[in-house]
Amino acid sequence: MARYNTWQADVFRFAVQGRGAQNFLAAAQRQGIRLYHLRCTGAGYSGMASGGDRPRMQALAQTGGWTLETLERHGPGRTLERMLQRPGIPLGLLLFFWLLWWFSGFVWAMDLSALEPDQQLLLESQLAEQQIWVGSRLDQQKLAQAQELLSLQSETFGWLGLNFTGGCLFVESTPLETQSVREEAQNTALYAAAGGQVLSIGVESGFCVVETGQYVSEGQLLANALKLDREGALVGQAATGHITARVERSYTATQPLQQTTLQLTGKSSREETLCLLGQTRLLRQAEPWSHARRSVRWIPLALGRIALPGSLRQVTVWEEEEISRSYTPEEAQEMADRACRLQLMAEFPDANIEAREMIADRQQEAVTVTTRYTFVADIARQGMYTPVEPQKETS
Amino acid sequence: MKKQRRPRPHKSKSGQPPTFRGLFRQPSGNFYRLPDLEVRGSCVLTDGCRRVLDFTDQKLCLDMGNSVITFYGDGLRIESLAGKRLVIEGRVARMEFSPKWEGGNGTV
């Protein structure tokens, strides 16, 4: 305690007694000690002085043979002494504020309530890829980097804002709005993707070279970008639009009767990783299956209703095994027919099927199906224009 | 008509009339080191007090260098004593100026 002069900021009331006590006042005056509220008490004097001058006053009183007594003490010195006697209190305060600052750097909670449930799961996994989860340490640089990456990668959110304050990560977003802008055609022509009878013509620009009811073959020019005017000069305009035709087309697909596929066995295993205060610790390891499906779930840790800066990463692994599946010829035929239909839809998405004729070839190991479809669809496909020779002027 | 008399010019203590030059003359060299006494209500402010010679409720005796000033009154107390500055509070009834040494003129 002697190392710290806790009287420095205090003022104290003193009483000086002894023979010729007024000489104490004169001596204090010479030493430059400021005294105030001095009163005569009969046997001596009482007054007030600054706590910082107390050692000099004590030395003066000792030298002059006077008795210096401290009557009252005002100021923070006494509290400071108590604090120094119990250093745990100031240290505890310092530790509290330091921990407050340190803990606020961790993600304690993630507020994704503004998003749809499926979007929450998606964003949670995307944030986890950026090493951001409940319990991870987060700074503004990491946050800005993650926000930039997520905004670039995401096909769900038009704008994504990550706000991190007081240990809580708020996510704000706006849905992605796609505005389809048709690319300006550059001297393109329309060609037939399949042969058939033209039913309707919806050419928006360019110069149509076919008529309704006309039969066209696959690859035939339907509308060109160039045309000669009456004077034989070239006129250019890119061909766009649609030409609907009735088409007959065949598709073939083969379905084996025996096929190896992956099937869930019903067995599951769980991998658990504790992510707490920026540290991760594997609690339980999953079974090392060669074929498995995985689903990840983040469970925030909480003590009652109080969130903790940590989460439990739970990966559920479902075992799959390769099995040889055998189909009956009827099943295989249906599957092959479905594959044919899928081929048609991939080629002509707007196809309206009018008639279907299926020929199945059942062999020992596979069933091959050839389906002939009669359908109505847009057969116009864009391609390079066909050059037209300008007529020479005869005059 | 009664003749109006011209007012007489004022004369200094030395008997010499004050001159225009004298108005702007500097005071003597130790003028600002001389003890200073200021009375404000029930407070007396002094500057130049070398030491407190005697201090009771009814009497306060101060060494002011060449002279000694004694305050008589009731409930006298020193409100502040810092260096040569001293503030006295209380009901001052009388002040007495006396020379510090015998043969002095006692002027402050």
- Condensed to tens digits (0 to 9), the pLDDT of residues A21-77 reads 889 998 998 889 999 999 998 889 999 999 999 999 999 999 999 999 999 999 988
pLDDT of residue A1: 47
Determine, for residues B56 and A40 on separate chains, whether the beta-carbon distance falls below 8 Å.
Answer: yes
DSSP A253-283: EEEESEEEEEEEEEEEEEEEEEEETTEEEEE
pLDDT of residue B38: 93
Residue B93: inside a domain: yes
Across B42-65, average pLDDT: 91
A297: its two tokens: 């779930």
How confident is the model at residue A134, as a pLDDT? Answer: 87
For the cut 60, the answer to whether the pLDDT of residue A121 exceeds it is yes
Nearest one of A73, A95, A98, A71 to A10, comparing CA atoms: A73
Question: To the nearest whole angstrom, how far is the Cα of A80 from the nearest Cα of chain B?
Answer: 28
Instruction: Give the per-residue pLDDT at A182.
Output: 67
Give the structural domain span for B64. Answer: 34-99
How far apart, in whole angstroms, are the C-alpha atoms of residue A248 and residue A373?
Answer: 6
Higher pLDDT, A356 or A387: A356
Q: Closest to B77 (Cβ–Cβ): which among A29, A30, A39?
A: A39
For CA atoms A70, B91, B69, B47, give the dihedral sign: positive
Other beta carbons less than 10 A from residue A135's beta carbon: 24
**Closest by CA position to A382, among listed A201, A196, A225, A211:** A225
Residue B108 pLDDT > 60: no
The tens digit of pLDDT for each residue in B54-84 reads: 999 999 999 988 889 999 999 999 999 998 8
Q: How confident is the model at residue B100 (pLDDT cuts 50, 70, 90)?
A: confident
Question: Does residue B78 fall inside a structural domain?
Answer: yes
Nearest residue in chain B measured CA to CA from A38:
B78
Token digits of residue A222: 């339907």
Helices A54-64 and A21-31 pack at an angle, to 10 degrees, of 140
For B52, the closest of A22, A32, A37 (CB atoms) is A22
Count the domains in chain B.
1
- Chain B nearest-CA distance from A81, in A, is 29
CATH assignment of the domain containing B41: 2.60.40.2000
Say whether B81 and A34 touch across the interface (CB within 8 A).
yes
Picking from A35, A39, A40, the nearest residue to B81 by CB comes out as A35
Alpha-helical segments (H) within chain A: 21-31, 54-64, 77-85, 88-103, 117-129, 140-153, 329-347
pLDDT in tens, A131-174: 888 888 888 888 888 888 888 877 777 788 888 888 888 888 88
Helix, strand, or coil here: A84?
Answer: helix
Q: Which residue did the predictor score with more confidence, A393 or A246?
A: A246
**Mean pLDDT for chain B overall:** 81
- Of the two residues B28 and A49, the one the predictor is more confident about is A49
Check CB contact of B72 with chain A, cutoff 8 Å: no
**Residue B14: pLDDT band with limits 50, 70, 90:** low
A47 touches chain B (CB under 8 A): yes
pLDDT at A316: 93
Across A178-203, average pLDDT: 83
Find out whether B57 and B75 touch, Cβ atoms under 8 Å. Answer: yes
Domains and CATH numbers, chain A: 11-81 (3.30.70.340), 109-175 (3.10.20), 253-258+326-375 (no CATH), 260-324 (no CATH)
- How far apart are the CA of A33 and the nearest CA of chain B, in angstroms? 6
Question: What residues 15-54 of chain B have any CB closer than 8 A to a CB of chain A?
Answer: 49, 51-54
- In B, which residues are within 8 Å of A47 by CB distance? 78
Cβ atoms of residues A196 and A361 within 8 Å: no
| CA proximity to A335, closest of A348, A326, A323, A324 | A326
| Least CB–CB distance from A29: residue in B51, B77, B79 | B51
Outline where chain B has alpha helix (H). 20-23
What pTM was estimated for this model as a whole? 0.50
**Cα B69 from chain centre:** 9
Does the CB of B11 have a partner CB in chain A at under 8 Å? no
Angstrom distance (rounded) from CA A302 to CA A309: 8
Q: How many CB atoms within 10 Å of residue A347?
A: 13
Report yes or no on B11 lying in a domain. Answer: no
Which one, of A171, A107, A161, lies nearest residue A137 by Cα?
Answer: A107
Is B40 among the domain residues? Answer: yes
- CA distance linking residue A198 with residue A245, whole number of Å: 4
Q: How confident is the model at residue A346 (pLDDT cuts 50, 70, 90)?
A: very high
Cβ–Cβ under 8 Å, residues A197 and A178: no
Instruction: Decide if pLDDT at A383 tops 90.
Output: no
% of chain A exceeding 90 in pLDDT: 40
